Structure 1
Amino acid sequence: MSKIIGLIPARMAASRFPGKPLHPILGRPMIEHVYQRARLYPRWDVLALCTCDEAIQDFAQAKGWPVIMTADTHTRALDRVAEAAAKCGIDIADDDIVLNVQGDEPMMHPDMIAATIKPLEERPGEVRGTMLAMDIVDEAQFRNPDALKIIHDLSGRVLYTSRQPIPHCKQFGPELGAKRIYGIFGFRWDFLKLFTDLPPSPLEIKEACDSNRLYDHGYHQHIAPYPFQPSYSVDSPHDIHLVEAAMADDPLWGKY
């Protein structure tokens, strides 16, 4: 069975919300919510934070959590995750699975991790990379540029991701089938290494989305479908209030 390595990238210099990994949510730093929820998934061979910031390293070490220091030159989370995976302390085979669990997803659930891994294990010859794809049921989120929308073909192969409201519609409704990226990505190790060997691409830079690097160079990920649930990423200080209101009713709150 393939090993499963989970890495949570975080940095203090986020352009829209500096310092957000350690910003409190219901009295605990955001990165603590992410790590504690991720560790509820039972199949990890490795689970660690990865960062270039001593403040995050100090916080993790004080908690006794694994943390891997990376270069401060990375502009994309997947490049940071790839460096951390190479330093994680175990031998990783090409078919082992590396997961990037974004450090700004404080409401993630462990079954989301299982969903992200599922296509990799069920279609091993075809699927080398996945992204969790959550249904969009709200027009405001559909039109929000912070939510990266996904266009995919009938087999689930991702064709493009954009901050624009796609697919086009005259009137939004759930029947549109719009999906957004939820910040959990799965890769076979050889595919993640390939990603880091590719140069940054025009559509990656224009959309500020790592995955478009693959599509620009002729490679693909597949969606890992997940139904809508009231779960918010933290992209700006305003999102803290949304998360705190929703987390109060979240069944995982209070279990860590």
Structure 2
Amino acid sequence: MRIAALIPARYAATRFPAKLMQPLGSKTVIRHTYDNTVATGLFDEVVVVTDSPVIYDEITAGGGTAKMSRREHESGSDRIAEAVEDMEVDIVLNIQGDTPFIKRDPLEKLLAVFKGADGASVQVASLMQELKDPALIADENYVKVAIDLKGNALFFSRSVIPYPRNKELVIPYYEHIGVYAFRKQALLDFTRWPVTPLENAEKVECLRYLEHGVPLRMVVVDYMGVEIDTPDDLDRAAKLIV
């Protein structure tokens, strides 16, 4: 089974422009993400797919592999699908460029769901981690996910889900981490579907799969560090750099 990790890297992020080129310790955010992905040793190929010559040069100048997108894209999945279409690959991991603390163990758990008899039916999988800080649970920048008893996603939302109507329950809240694994065809199918109503409302791309009836298998992992969505996130991340 041939496995590739692709890192979509858009320069003009809406909430934090040029966030991937921000310094984080001795490297930029995108360089941390790329180097840490390669260091897992799990992939036959690791490629940054970008719309930016600046990001392209940042990766290739350090000996990394990058590709320039040929056209504009609405989502990271659309961007990497363009690059994947001509690649010989079975499983594709989409690792967001703003996840500089990526490491081997959670990615290994994610890939494991595609193996064995049960794994044959899995088309798309993703990661989540438990959120415990009430401020982060309420923060719309943190996408939450509710799951069924088999670990498949029921819904993704920037709102608090589930809503704690029953105050006697201790409810686990999960943050969706922007790391996906797809079978190649599932990824290509995604790009051929138009943006769906719930996806458009929440601005959460994986809802497109759910709206087309494709289950997402969720894998809970330990703390994954900080995703860099805002300047405050960058400050938090800087405190974790050793």
TM-score, scaled relative to structure 2: 0.94
Specify the SS of the correspondent of 2:115.
helix
- Give the aligned residue type for 1:164: S
Distance 1:217 1:28 in 2: 40
Structure 1 pair 27–143 and aligned structure 2 pair: CA distance change class (3 A) = same
Specify the SS of the correspondent of 1:191.
helix
Residue 246 of structure 1 and its aligned partner are, at CA, apart by 2.1
Q: CA RMSD in A?
A: 1.8
What is the aligned partner in structure 1 of residue 229 from structure 2? 235
Task: Report how many residues are paired.
Answer: 241
What is the aligned partner in structure 1 of residue 174 from structure 2? 179
2:98 to 101, 104, 107: 104
Residue 18 of structure 1 and its aligned partner are, at CA, apart by 0.7
* Contact map agreement 2:2 2:88 (CA 8 A) in 1: no
What is the aligned partner in structure 2 of residue 244 from structure 1? 238
Residue 161 of structure 1 and its aligned partner are, at CA, apart by 0.4
Distance 1:162 1:178 in 2: 12
1:124-143 map, 5 Å: 124-143=119-138
Q: Which runs of 5+ in 2 are unaligned?
A: none
What is the aligned partner in structure 2 of residue 91 from structure 1? 88
Residue 206 of structure 1 and its aligned partner are, at CA, apart by 1.1
Specify the SS of the correspondent of 1:247.
coil
What is the aligned partner in structure 2 of residue 19 from structure 1? 18
Deviations along 1:133-159, one digit per CA (max 9) or x if unpaired, are 111122111111111100111111112
Distance 1:120 1:39 in 2: 21
Distance 1:86 1:60 in 2: 22
TM-score, scaled relative to structure 1: 0.89
* Contact map agreement 1:118 1:224 (CA 8 A) in 2: no
What is the aligned partner in structure 2 of residue 202 from structure 1? 197
Residue 14 of structure 1 and its aligned partner are, at CA, apart by 0.3
Give the % identical residues: 29
Moved over 4 A (4+): 170-174
Structure 1 pair 173–10 and aligned structure 2 pair: CA distance change class (3 A) = farther
What is the aligned partner in structure 1 of residue 161 from structure 2? 166
Residue 247 of structure 1 and its aligned partner are, at CA, apart by 2.5
Distance 2:224 2:167 in 1: 18
Residue 4 of structure 1 and its aligned partner are, at CA, apart by 0.5
1:188 aligns with 2:172: no
Distance 1:173 1:231 in 2: 30
1:220 aligns with 2:219: no
Specify the SS of the correspondent of 2:239.
helix
Specify the SS of the correspondent of 1:142.
helix
